[in-house]
């Protein structure tokens, strides 16, 4: 890695090293009252881990739009850096798919789980592998890493910087235009729409999302709405 990654003016980087998990560190910093826009990151040769701290001014169910906004930002960032044949799709619960195989994930944590209340903080974490463990290729055909998909010229710090820039673009669009543009962009990238899905004790066909990105899950009798906050760490469906 060539020096510390640089971020747009609204964001502040906070690097951690070794085994330290940026997702956990971001939650700790948020609980201590850090400013929104903190990007905690651990950039290593084999994987990129980062987490963004938000201070929502809207109820949690609306604030959860930050998860798909971060996902779209990642797709845009990787699309700008990767060879054109690399396809990136996003799972509803945060998983990332590269050329159809699982390749990292997003996760979310919040100071509260009441969908009608604005939380003190919301943290969105990203983890993406660049290199698979030496014993993994072939044993886990549904999992991949960026270098296995032709992204050998991408530096993890470069991807982090690009993700931050593209993420901000989408957050600003959401602030200016509402969820419509995000919804249209995300549906074009969504993995698993039209397929069977299970969330908690609900099973059915994943038919789409509502305006706040809650999953619409249709069974034989009705269509269930599963709020996106159900994927929050520590929130059992």
How confident is residue 211, by pLDDT bands cut at 50, 70 and 90?
very high
At residue 22, the pLDDT reads 98
The two beta strands, 12-15 and 38-43, are: parallel
**Tens digits of residue pLDDT in 92-104:** 999 999 999 999 9
Q: What is the mean pLDDT of residues 15-31?
A: 96
**Tens digits of residue pLDDT in 142-172:** 899 999 999 999 999 999 999 999 999 999 9
Q: Is 215 helix (H, G, I), strand (E, B) or coil?
A: strand
- CA-closest candidate to residue 58, choices 179, 146, 139: 179
Domains of the chain in sequence order:
12-187 (3.30.930.10), 196-231 (2.30.30.100)
Q: What is the mean pLDDT of residues 81-110?
A: 97
- CA-closest candidate to residue 7, choices 61, 50, 65: 50
What sections of 178-226 are H helices per DSSP? 180-187
Q: What is the mean pLDDT of residues 110-122?
A: 96
pTM: 0.94
d(CA 65, CA 229): 10
Give backbone dihedrals phi and psi of 202, rounded to 5 degrees, phi first: -100, 135
Tokens of 29: 């910093």
Q: Please, are residues 198 and 186 in contact by the beta-carbon 8 Å criterion? A: no
Q: Count the Cβ atoms, other than its own, within 10 Å of residue 237.
A: 13
What percentage of the chain carries pLDDT values higher than 90? 90
d(CA 163, CA 157): 10
In the predicted model, is pLDDT for residue 58 greater than 90?
yes
Angle subtended at Cα 118 by Cα 202 and Cα 213, rounded to the nearest 5 degrees: 40
């Amino acid at each position: 890695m060539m020096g510390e990654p640089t971020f747009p003016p609204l964001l502040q980087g906070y690097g951690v090293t070794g085994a330290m998990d940026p997702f956990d560190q971001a939650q700790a910093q948020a609980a201590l009252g850090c400013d929104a826009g903190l990007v905690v990151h651990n950039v290593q040769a084999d994987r990129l881990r980062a987490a963004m701290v938000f201070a929502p001014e809207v109820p949690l169910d609306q604030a959860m739009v930050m998860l798909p906004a971060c996902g779209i930002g990642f797709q845009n960032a990787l699309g700008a850096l990767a060879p054109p044949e690399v396809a990136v799709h996003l799972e509803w619960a945060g998983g990332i798919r590269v050329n159809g195989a699982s390749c990292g994930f997003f996760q979310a944590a919040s100071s509260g789980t009441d969908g009608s209340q604005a939380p003190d903080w919301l943290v969105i974490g990203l983890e993406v592998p660049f290199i698979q463990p030496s014993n993994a290729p072939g044993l886990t055909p549904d999992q991949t890493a960026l270098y296995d998909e032709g992204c050998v010229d991408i530096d993890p710090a470069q991807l982090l910087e690009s993700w931050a820039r593209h993420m901000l673009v989408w957050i600003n669009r959401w602030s200016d235009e509402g969820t419509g543009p995000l919804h249209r962009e995300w549906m074009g990238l969504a993995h698993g729409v039209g397929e069977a899905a299970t969330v908690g004790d609900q099973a059915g066909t994943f038919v789409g999302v509502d305006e706040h990105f809650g999953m619409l899950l249709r069974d034989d009798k009705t269509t269930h709405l599963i709020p996106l906050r159900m994927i929050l760490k520590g929130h059992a469906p």
